[in-house]
Structure 1
Amino acid sequence: MKKIHIIGLGLLGGSFALAAKKIFPELEITGFDSDSENLGVAVEMQLISKALPEPGKDTDIVILATPVDTLFEILDKTLSKVGEKTLVMDFGSTKDQLCQQVSQHPKRAQYLAVHPIAGTENSGPKAAQVDLFDGKVMIICEMEKTDVHLKKMAYDIFDALNLRLRFMDPKDHDLHLAFVSHLSHATSFVLGKTVIDKTADERNILDMAGSGFASTVRLAKSSPEMWGPIFLENKTNVLEALDSYIDHLTAFRNRIANYDSEGLKADMREANKIRNILDFKE
């Protein structure tokens, strides 16, 4: 493997470039971003060696790290133009619709659907971190539909980046992510908006915000340009997750309204069980 081309040079695309260059110094990484400022910063930071609107015919791997509502158009165009020895993969947070859309493409075997479970609330090439992927999970969907020789290149680089591979059905991926990722971002955005609305009347409210508020609302700093499309692309599953959350939130509110001390504590003790899951995961 000698050449990688990255389309979308934000947090994920930029971090992948940094990590790949550190492990494979001889690797040539080119790239493109529709935001000219991001593209200029990526070149200045040497995330890429050269800005190219399209990958060269001898490119080994093309990575798509753009908002999910742009992925199919870019994937379709890229697959149609690359050589037969090039692998194309995307880093999108939703997979079911994209996998269905690309299912009949003549070069479907040159596509690998992946999703790195890595990120921060920051965006753009300046947010790139060389260790962002280290030890993280890389979900792979429909791996059996990808050419075995091409996906070996991806597996080799994933292994070098210390990524842990998990294989999932696209529908299961989108359902599970709606609950463990998309819901947390949605609730954080709403919490942030709720507090901001309150500060219109009480300017000093944020003076009382401690670490608990900061950690809970951290995701509200995430990019709307990235997360708006995710919520809409995964609409059915996100709505299911939100409906379940609203039901639990309403029940919690009712326990407070009714001075139900024991019920309130029982709900919180049940929620405490998440500690066992997260401690085991770590």
Structure 2
Amino acid sequence: MKLCVIGLGLLGGSFALAVKAIHKNTFVLGVDANPAHGQRALERGIADEVLPLPEALKQSDLVVLATPVDVIYTLLPEVLDLIPDQATVVDLGSTKDLLCQVVAQHPKRGQFVAAHPIAGTEYSGPDAAFASLLEHKTMIICEREKSGPASLALVEELCRDLQMPLRYMGAKEHDLHLAYVSHLSHISSFALGLTVLDKEQDEKNIFDMAGSGFSSTVRLAKSSPAMWGPIFAQNKKNVSEALESYIRQLQEFKATIDKDQQQEAKELMAKANEIRRILG
């Protein structure tokens, strides 16, 4: 199989490494706007060859779009225009509604599978990629009824090979849920990082006194702005609603502290403890 990976960073690189580890005959054609990333992907064995986009597409059996979502939005119609008639395109973006809308009437819509792996780290670039990133991570497939049987079956089979459980949902439903369980947590982490940096001008104090709780909570603040900025923009309505709910909760906590309502604060925390049951 000839696999074209557009965007040779954490997700694209990890997908390529994972597929190559399982399917030894896979030849990976890499495409990346950053020449240094392309070179590093070759050095790490993520890609076997790095080519310009049109040249890579015309040879590909499966094309994976693993760039920031604003780039996916721009590239997706062009990629569908250029791929061979039997090829499949899958994206790994964290938003789905706008991406599905932009190709809804494309004559090759059936060759596209809208997917989102619930996987990642706070790091980016080819050096962040590793083969086991996707293992046992859920892959969400949106609008599966609009993907052709052959393309859908190919992506599903690869997910099973990578030990990725599959879930199916609509694009709008996906974006609503992810605003709360993914996008909001990143904004919260960015905001916490800014709050502490603004208060503690002496960085040494931050690192000397930061415990594991702070480190785990602020970890996502190290994530790439180039990736997350477009996600917030494409899912702005759902993200804004999630933020409004979150701000109300913060204000409620603040009110219990301002009014020295210790019992009320404990009740809020006890209610939040229910998350343990949901997360297992």
Same fold, judged at TM 0.5 (above):
yes
Q: What amino acid sits opposite 1:126 in the alignment?
A: D
Tell me the distance in 1 between the aligned counterparts of 2:74 and 2:212.
42
Deviations 1:159-183 (A, max 9, x none): 1000100001100100000000000
TM-score scaled by length of structure 1 = 0.96
After TM superposition, list the pairs within 5 Å mapping 1:1-282 onto structure 2: 2-54=1-53, 55-200=56-201, 204-279=205-280
Closer, same or farther: CA 243–56 of 1 in aligned 2, 3 Å: closer
Tell me the distance in 2 between the aligned counterparts of 1:6 and 1:266.
49
Deviations 1:30-54 (A, max 9, x none): 1111111111110111101000112
Q: State the secondary structure of the residue aligned to 2:25.
A: coil
Q: What amino acid sits opposite 2:104 in the alignment?
A: S
Closer, same or farther: CA 52–256 of 1 in aligned 2, 3 Å: same
Q: What amino acid sits opposite 1:260 in the alignment?
A: Q
Bigger drift between 49-58 and 156-165 goes to 49-58
Deviations 1:186-240 (A, max 9, x none): 0000100111111226852431110000000000000000001101110000000
Tell me the distance in 2 between the aligned counterparts of 1:33 and 1:98.
20
Tell me the distance in 2 between the aligned counterparts of 1:95 and 1:77.
17
Tell me the distance in 1 between the aligned counterparts of 2:160 and 2:103.
26
Tell me the distance in 1 between the aligned counterparts of 2:29 and 2:203.
49
Once the two structures are TM-superposed, the CA of residue 156 in structure 1 deviates from its matched residue by: 1.2
Q: What amino acid sits opposite 1:234 in the alignment?
A: N
Q: What amino acid sits opposite 2:3 in the alignment?
A: I
Structure 1 gaps of 5+ residues are none
Tell me the distance in 2 between the aligned counterparts of 1:202 and 1:157.
45
Aligned length: 278
Tell me the distance in 2 between the aligned counterparts of 1:141 and 1:41.
32
Closer, same or farther: CA 202–227 of 1 in aligned 2, 3 Å: closer
Once the two structures are TM-superposed, the CA of residue 56 in structure 1 deviates from its matched residue by: 4.3
Q: State the secondary structure of the residue aligned to 1:88.
A: strand
Bigger drift between 195-204 and 73-82 goes to 195-204
Tell me the distance in 1 between the aligned counterparts of 2:8 and 2:148.
26
Tell me the distance in 1 between the aligned counterparts of 2:17 and 2:236.
33
Q: State the secondary structure of the residue aligned to 1:204.
A: helix
8 A contact 1:64–1:91 mirrored in 2:
yes
Structure 2 gaps of 5+ residues are none
Tell me the distance in 2 between the aligned counterparts of 1:189 and 1:169.
29
Tell me the distance in 1 between the aligned counterparts of 2:57 and 2:75.
15
Q: What amino acid sits opposite 2:261 in the alignment?
A: D
Q: What amino acid sits opposite 1:193 in the alignment?
A: L
8 A contact 1:30–1:49 mirrored in 2:
yes
8 A contact 2:16–2:28 mirrored in 1:
yes
Deviations 1:72-95 (A, max 9, x none): 221111100111100001101000
8 A contact 1:58–1:86 mirrored in 2:
no
Once the two structures are TM-superposed, the CA of residue 155 in structure 1 deviates from its matched residue by: 1.2
Tell me the distance in 1 between the aligned counterparts of 2:166 and 2:5.
21
Closer, same or farther: CA 3–271 of 1 in aligned 2, 3 Å: same
Q: What amino acid sits opposite 1:244 in the alignment?
A: S
Q: Identical aligned pairs, as a percentage?
A: 52
Tell me the distance in 2 between the aligned counterparts of 1:140 and 1:53.
28
